[in-house]
Chain A
């Protein structure tokens, strides 16, 4: 079993839909990161969470430390949101352990 599990692996949505991507982890963490990667592109940090909820524009990230679970929500999705979304957890030793990523495609 991977230390960081994401679901779904692939997600196709219509423009305007509300999207949720889930992340569960099985190790002790210092913080959880949500990252975005476009095909052939670099990695952009969206959120870093250690508790509660954060919002930035149409993106919302939540974390439940007791349940070892985090969600990334996108409201009013747009084709430009199409990308790979990656959950990563900071572990002892100051490094990140990554989920496999969720490939999101938003159709217009």
Chain B
């Protein structure tokens, strides 16, 4: 029973390139959340998705960032034209229900993005 799988674990991109971060939720989990941890800062909510729907994207930067969770396959967090300030650890979590913060909230190991 694999946990939340994120890949890659480490990603290096040059300024201006695109970064794609993948998250496969736990089996049976249909709710996915992305969080960002900037260097020396706490974790911050980015986006909450359910299959094929964005439920809450209030934490997403207005430009260059997008997220999806298709009917088949992993959730993808996409960052276009990366800048140095995007360097951070990006964590995905999943839950089996809309009451996820009360039950079954599970984190992945994170993707560490470095922009050079």
Contact = CB atoms under 8 A, between A and B. Distances in A.
Contact of A93 (B56, B91, B95, B110): B56
B48 A95 contact: yes
A97 interface: yes
B32 to A, nearest CB: 11
Interface in A15-46: 30-31, 33, 35, 40-45
A40 B91 CA distance: 12
A22 to B, nearest CB: 16
Given A93-B56, A94-B31, A95-B56, A33 B42 contact: no
A97 B98 CA distance: 16
Contacts of A45: 105-107
Contacts of B107: 35, 42-45
B11 to A, nearest CB: 14
A85 interface: no
B45 interface: yes
B101 A90 contact: yes
Nearest to A84: B42
Contact of A48 (B59, B91, B93, B105): B105
Given A30-B101, A31-B102, A98 B31 contact: no
Interface of B: 31, 33, 35, 41-45, 48, 55-56, 59, 91, 93, 95, 98-103, 105-110, 112
- Which 8 A/B pairs are nearest by Cβ-Cβ distance? A90-B101, A42-B109, A43-B107, A98-B43, A100-B42, A95-B45, A31-B102, A98-B42
7 contacts: A93-B48, A93-B55, A94-B48, A94-B55, A94-B56, A96-B101, A99-B42
Interface of A: 30-31, 33, 35, 40-45, 48, 50, 86, 88, 90-91, 93-101
